[in-house]
Amino acid sequence: MRRGLEIVAQDLHKAYEGGLVFALRGVDLKVERGERVAVIGPTGCGKSTLLALLALLDRPDRGEILIDDLPASSLHHPEEWRNREVGIVFQFHYLLPHLTVEENVALPVLDGRDKGFARARELVDRLGLGSRARTLASGLSGGERQLAALARALVNDPAFVLADEPTGSVDSATGGRILDELLGWADRCGGTLVVVTHDPSVAGRMDRTMQMRDGRVVDGGKPAS
Ligand SMILES: Nc1ncnc2c1ncn2[C@@H]1O[C@H](COP(=O)(O)OP(=O)(O)OP(=O)(O)O)[C@@H](O)[C@H]1O
Ligand SMILES: [Mg+2]
């Protein structure tokens, strides 16, 4: 079985627009291996920026991320680490519109086309998207895109999943299914899960809630010990 990763962030700063917009102003946090953490906070407080840094999609201006005690800045190929270890559900889906649902979902699977498609189909079916598997992503509803994005994030059985408002554009039944799937993955893989949400019922199913405000974590940044 795979195991989750321990993630530590120290004094992360990130500004945009040539330093005019401060998105993160000194984030400190720790997420233990296998822990499930909700990140909450008002619009614009830096949640999506933080997730992009934790996924090593972007670099902080200052500060460091430690993955199982290894400084992220020392990784020569962060994209290889990401492909192997991380599943990301973006706030705005980012499916490839000219590929079908099952092709989008199978994209991250590195160990051979047939096996990848079988696993992708299994997930797509379980999430209730079976009848849409051969549909182009451009033809999906918002909620269907969210389900497909979730399937793509989990298809590799990653060690670390980051999900940015994974239930943001779906009804409560579909939201429940998404959450069950995420928690099912975490149980099965012992994975580390960080979920940005505005929904208290989603946050309530995590081990801990981290509260952000104005580019900082103001509460719940470390595991209760
Ligand atoms: N690429 C960018 N260029 C310029 N400014 C950005 C960029 N990305 C984010 N920002 C700004 O950084 C701040 C934090 O944005 P971020 O997307 O992290 O907020 P958020 O907490 O995810 O908000 P929401 O709840 O609305 O998704 C905001 O002021 C936003 O306008
Ligand atoms: Mg956001």
22 pLDDT more than 70: yes
Could you give all domains of the chain from N- to C-terminal order, each with its CATH number?
7-219 (3.40.50.300)
Instruction: Give the pLDDT of residue 108.
Output: 80
User: What pLDDT score was predicted for residue 112?
Assistant: 55
* Smallest-distance ligand from the CA of 19: 1
pLDDT at 113: 61
**Residues 6, 35: Cα–Cα separation, whole Å:** 9
pLDDT reported for residue 54 = 97
State pLDDT tens for residues 161-188: 999 999 988 899 999 999 999 999 999 9
What value does the mean pLDDT take over residues 139-158? Answer: 92
In whole angstroms, how large is the CA radius of gyration of the chain? 17
In three-state secondary structure terms, 30 is strand
Could you count the other beta carbons within 10 Å of the beta carbon of residue 71?
12
DSSP state letter for 105: H
Residues 142, 111: contact at Cβ < 8 Å? no
> Which of 20, 21, 22, 162 to mutate for ligand 1's pocket (most ligand atoms within 8 Å of CB)?
21
Question: Which residue puts its alpha carbon closest to atom 26 of ligand 1?
Answer: 43
* Integer CA distances (angstroms), 144 to 120, 122, 168, 175, in order: 15, 16, 12, 11
Instruction: State the ligand closest to the CA atom of 12.
Output: 1
How remote is the CA of residue 119 from the centroid of ligand 2, in Å?
29
User: What's residue 93's pLDDT?
Assistant: 73
- What's the Cα-to-Cα distance from 171 to each of 167, 174, 189, 219, rounded to whole Å? 8, 5, 27, 29
CA of 50 to the centre of ligand 1 (A): 10
| pLDDT confidence of residue 149 | 94
The residue whose CA has the least distance to atom 6 of ligand 1 is 16
* Percentage of the residues of the chain whose pLDDT score is greater than 70: 97
**The dihedral of CA 147, 101, 162, 90: what is its sign?**
negative
pLDDT single digits (tens) 32-89: 999 999 999 999 999 999 999 999 999 999 999 999 999 999 999 999 999 889 999 9
Mutate which of 40, 45, 167, 211 for ligand 1? The one with the most ligand atoms within 8 Å of its CB, which is 45
Output the CA 167–ligand 2 centroid distance in Å: 13
C-beta 213 within 6 A of ligand 1 = no
What percent of the chain clears pLDDT 90, i.e. is strictly above it? 80
Confidence band of 3 (pLDDT split at 50, 70, 90): confident
pLDDT at 30: 98
What SS3 state is found at 16? Answer: strand
Instruction: Work out the mean pLDDT of the chain and round it to a whole number.
Output: 92
pLDDT at 2: 60
Residue nearest to atom 18 of ligand 1 (CA): 46
Q: Which residues, by Cβ under 5 Å, contact ligand 2, an ion?
A: 47-48, 91
Per-residue pLDDT band at 114 (split at 50, 70, 90):
low
Buried b / exposed e over 151-169, threshold 16 CB at 10 Å, is bbbbbbebbbbbbbbbbbb
Question: 48 C-alpha vs ligand 2 centroid, how far in Å?
Answer: 4
Given pLDDT bands bounded at 50, 70 and 90, which one contains residue 1?
low
